[in-house]
Amino acid sequence: MDINTYKPQNRISNKHLLTLLDYSSEEIFEVLKLAMELKKALKTGKKHECLSGKTIAMIFAKSSTRTRVSFEQGIRQLGAYPMFLSSNDIQLGRGEPIADTVKTLERYNIDGIMIRTFAHSDAEDLAKFGTVPIINGLTDDFHPCQALADLLTVYEHFSKLKGVKLVYMGDSNNVSNSLMIAGAKCGMQVTICCPKTHSPNKDILALAQACGSVVVTNNIDEALKNASVVYTDVFFSMGQENDDKKRAALMPYQVNTAAMSRANKDAIFMHCLPAKRGQEVTSEVIDGKQSVVFDQAENRLHAQKAVMQLLLKT
């Protein structure tokens, strides 16, 4: 089955979104199909306040532009109330156990929690000790909401996912981890092109390869051949210090005009943003005609709304 033959069921069996390893291909298709519907509804001015009266807490241990705004706007558009909680505002940032935090929030009639944090175990513990749906807005290991938005963007440009070759260039991180999993589960051909010193986590790679086609290589020409999507992210993720040795190792994997010329003529360029022009990508590429980075940014809104509706609608 692929996304074009999948018939929406208007439900998923999962209670949380922690990692897309927990989701079947059909459940990913369910999210993407609903995201398309919600995007159309917003563009045509059709109200879709299916979560009216609910309150969704947003816990931020890591700051963000796209995650905060897309979730806050999405929650409002679904008719719910967003409650922003930074680590400076709550006791979780001062050492309160996660179990105590989630149990307290539930007593205040919080209906769901989105968390953007460092350790993936924080999101897992919220799900373990609480009873409300937990959405992973980003952890050091996974970024499932970004991957869902990325797949939606790929589908909009190619009208399919199955067989589309996506090449991720540069430092392996939470974004590439989720792309490997989501892409493989949806029938895409995912290639991670990076120096051997910055290869994906072996355990996560093995889990992704068990889902479908995932290849890791340091051969740039081999990786970009027949690529329809060329993707990159910053060389230094939030919380990481700039390191000359790491930068030198990754610079050959910069996405520039020469790199894009190795891919298909109709290939698109993707980046989850924020970007460091002149480092992982050149201005000519990210600001050029093949770039769809702002389509991706917008699609965070629609994909996340679909997740929230499926997890919280009663």
Give catalytic residues, as residue numbers.
Answer: 116, 143, 146, 233, 272, 300
Please answer whether residues 243 and 236 qualify as being in contact, where contact means their C-beta atoms are separated by less than 8 angstroms.
yes
Which residue's entry shows tokens 């003529």? 265
Please answer whether residues 33 and 5 qualify as being in contact, where contact means their C-beta atoms are separated by less than 8 angstroms.
no
Question: Could you give the C-alpha distances from 41 to 30, 34, 155, 221, 307, in angstroms and in order?
Answer: 17, 10, 18, 42, 16
Q: Is the peptide bond before 200 cis (omega within 30 degrees of 0)?
A: no
Rounded-to-integer distance, Cα 215 and Cα 193, Å: 8
Which residue's entry shows tokens 């692929």? 2
Phi and psi, residue 134, nearest 5°? -115, 130
Q: At what angle do helices 25-43 and 144-158 cross, to 10 degrees?
A: 70
Helix (H) or strand (E) run with residue 153 in it? helix 144-158
Structure tokens at 208: 């992704």
Kindly write down the DSSP assignment for every residue of 47-58, as one continuous string.
Answer: ---TTTT-EEEE
Encode 49-60: b = buried (16+ Cβ within 10 Å), e = exposed. ebbeebbbbbbb
Rounded-to-integer distance, Cα 305 and Cα 67, Å: 12
